[in-house]
Structure 1
């Protein structure tokens, strides 16, 4: 009784504060949805290009994921190549029945994609596009501190660790991986302690995790409120370039014609025998470049572990992704001395990993030497994106359970 008289008001006050903060989470989402993101075309306009508010926040991604006519694209710098054949242009203006939404930019890899989606809920049956390239697997240690810190945030980690639909063993593996490259935790020592307690075995550590949970909820809610304020500031820019709502009847895109147009465009952009944009040729073909990749290896790499962890998260969330296997530029790879067998082994490893999880694969590994398919060593070019666009359209409008889509030879 004495204890309650002395500490009761303080405990009640703390409880009300905790409940108030937690109550702000759904309120923030409601206000954002009904005041800032309610105008048709706003979220579509934002998704046309990479935004820091999308990469480091959650509100815009969450909105895109629950909007039926939006198709999120998760990838890296290849999402910005291809000129007019980039899917952001092809599908945004031709009314194919959906609008692309970019969640990616340079230096994004599997771990960033994982954190973007691990904390999301209600993803069962959601279609997503994943693009990736061989250079992700060229580093033995995988993603480094700087690139993770640049493209992710404590908010993503809090939401991942607090997700009710993610198994504890997966959370433990994710926490362990983040602690190995803790750059994103530098300004949040509490989160670092929370992750450390989560991965440490024993009853005492688990009691610490439970005691940390209320503060983790509060920290997450506070970051979500900050995210909402940043989104508000982005809205005015987006509303000046809104996309009109997609009409109910899909207009067929003449894919064969589009591919032929991309070939003509490629001829105007590339005149050299290494299949590199003429504007990039002087930067890539310089003294010492020939044979410089003779020791490049794509195995082993921690990136394979991150990729597998991402696949398992997507599997548990019930996502139905399409993975686009981008090849190396064969002409450039041969010039740089990158062994063909090394490339073939990489394609087979990735192919097996994706298909083992039952996910859909668009395998473009046979396109290494196709003119204009690539625009430099690793990035899709005009014809590459034209052919990938056709496969994406096939995937979006097919409701079956195939583990591959047809790629024209």
Structure 2
């Protein structure tokens, strides 16, 4: 009997041991070599693989010869027209290159745990963080989207440093609500309750994390895409060789005019045809009851601020507008929208985050928006002007002073007024 069982399971066990050994022999990300072209591919890939991968982010952000800056956001980075920040940085050989960190449905909580993978690489550096007020709905981030972009190494890395602080308790509770891997629930429940992890807990976490980090490195370069060579480099040829703001704005108008001919909202033709035209009548007045003033997203934003303060990262926050014509058609309360922007800005400024590029009042400008909620064409040029100034001129050192009241229910679920 034992001999038969050995013949059946022996090869399986041996294969597992061999795979485990192979993964553990792979050097971790800190020992990998820098390759500028490969780093550029990763920085512009916009694939879930890159978004979740620790090795690719650490490799680019630690390159001593090239300055990659994390650009956090959601789906706006996919709007790769000729004025996209990666195209502009490449065309005019900016002293920085955007490392695009965003996916459709990704919000503050996703970004917070992704940051755990690159804490050292962000220390005393700069970053750009795009905020969309549309994130701040009553239900907060969609658990399905969160789980899709979640990598266990993020939570395990965070757990190694989690304390009995208000922010860590809040983060643990939010993770539990996201219904991630049940294998982490034991640790998360302890932190959420204000308890410390035991030595045994931390040992188990360290062993699992070591294995996953080796695995992360092994599969780092798979499926990172070719956006850099296929979508970024070719578009640099559409721009004037020497930066000229007036020329670029004229060019943006020309591109936008050609691509907004099938609708009255100034929305890109393809987006309108694929996403709106078939349900045009049904969408009218559909956003009358939308409210961005009461949301757990404000607490998730506070986690982001906590992390930036921890790494002393100097951040430019960019607030996106909403297409004004679209807002009127769908019945979105623009006064409520501006109140949510004010609430976000108060949370930032009151804690020392003073670098804010607020485009929330620009949704009525011609060719500023590429679709309903994302900037493009002229909007990208305004974005580029603010970002380039922030990243290329000397900035005062940040001085942050965080306040735990921004985790409280009274802040998350109440309207805001000056």
Structure 2 equivalent of residue 14 of structure 1: none
Q: How high is the TM-score relative to the length of structure 1?
A: 0.81
Shift of 1:252: 6.5
Distance 1:343 1:30, change over 3 A: closer
Shift of 1:347: 1.4
Distance 2:117 2:168 in 1: 10
Q: Do the aligned residues in 1 keep the contact of 2:41 with 2:225 (CA within 8 Å)? A: no
Distance 1:337 1:170 in 2: 36
Q: Map of 1:258-277 to 2, 5 A cutoff? A: 258-271=248-261, 272-277=263-268
Picking from 183, 194, 205, the partner of 2:187 is 194
Which whole-Å deviations, capped at 9, do the CAs of 1:125-146 have from their partners, x for residues lacking one? 2111111212211x31201211
Distance 1:28 1:402 in 2: 32
Structure 2 equivalent of residue 12 of structure 1: none
Structure 2 equivalent of residue 79 of structure 1: 77
Which whole-Å deviations, capped at 9, do the CAs of 1:364-393 have from their partners, x for residues lacking one? 112020011112211112111121012111
Picking from 186, 206, 210, the partner of 1:217 is 206
Q: Do the aligned residues in 2 keep the contact of 1:92 with 1:100 (CA within 8 Å)? A: no
Which whole-Å deviations, capped at 9, do the CAs of 1:317-351 have from their partners, x for residues lacking one? 21111111101111110111112211110111111
Distance 1:209 1:26 in 2: 29
Distance 2:59 2:25 in 1: 14
Distance 2:86 2:372 in 1: 22
Distance 1:97 1:314 in 2: 22
Q: Map of 1:305-316 to 2, 5 A cutoff? A: 305-316=299-310
Q: What is the RMSD computed on CA atoms of the aligned residues?
A: 2.9
Q: Do the aligned residues in 1 keep the contact of 2:68 with 2:98 (CA within 8 Å)? A: yes
Q: Map of 1:112-123 to 2, 5 A cutoff? A: 112-122=110-120, 123=122
Distance 1:167 1:362, change over 3 A: farther
Distance 1:225 1:210 in 2: 23
Bigger mean CA offset, 252-261 vs 71-80: 252-261
Distance 2:164 2:391 in 1: 29
Structure 2 residue 370 is matched with structure 1 residue 375: yes
Distance 1:236 1:276 in 2: 27
1:128 match: secondary structure: strand
Q: Do the aligned residues in 2 keep the contact of 1:191 with 1:216 (CA within 8 Å)? A: no
Structure 1 equivalent of residue 6 of structure 2: none
Distance 2:161 2:117 in 1: 5
Which whole-Å deviations, capped at 9, do the CAs of 1:29-63 have from their partners, x for residues lacking one? 244x13xxx33322122212212222122111122
2:95 match: secondary structure: coil
Aligned pairs, how many? 363
Distance 1:392 1:288, change over 3 A: same
1:85 match: secondary structure: coil
Q: Do the aligned residues in 1 keep the contact of 2:54 with 2:117 (CA within 8 Å)? A: no
Distance 1:280 1:216 in 2: 45
Structure 2 equivalent of residue 131 of structure 1: 130
Shift of 1:235: 7.6
Distance 1:74 1:148 in 2: 15
Distance 1:368 1:40, change over 3 A: closer
Distance 1:119 1:232 in 2: 17
Structure 2 residue 253 is matched with structure 1 residue 254: no
Picking from 328, 336, 340, the partner of 1:342 is 336
Q: Do the aligned residues in 2 keep the contact of 1:96 with 1:252 (CA within 8 Å)? A: no
Distance 2:371 2:228 in 1: 34
Shift of 1:362: 0.6
Bigger mean CA offset, 214-223 vs 74-83: 74-83
Distance 1:25 1:210, change over 3 A: farther
Structure 2 residue 28 is matched with structure 1 residue 39: no
Structure 2 residue 282 is matched with structure 1 residue 288: yes
Structure 2 equivalent of residue 171 of structure 1: 168
Query: Structure 2 stretches of 5 or more lacking a match?
Result: 1-20, 234-240, 399-418
Structure 2 residue 63 is matched with structure 1 residue 102: no
Shift of 1:124: 2.7
Bigger mean CA offset, 230-239 vs 371-380: 230-239
Q: How high is the TM-score relative to the length of structure 2?
A: 0.79
Q: Map of 1:370-409 to 2, 5 A cutoff? A: 370-401=365-396
Which whole-Å deviations, capped at 9, do the CAs of 1:199-258 have from their partners, x for residues lacking one? 234xxx53x5332110000111111111101114458979988x99xxxxxx97323322
Distance 1:375 1:237 in 2: 23
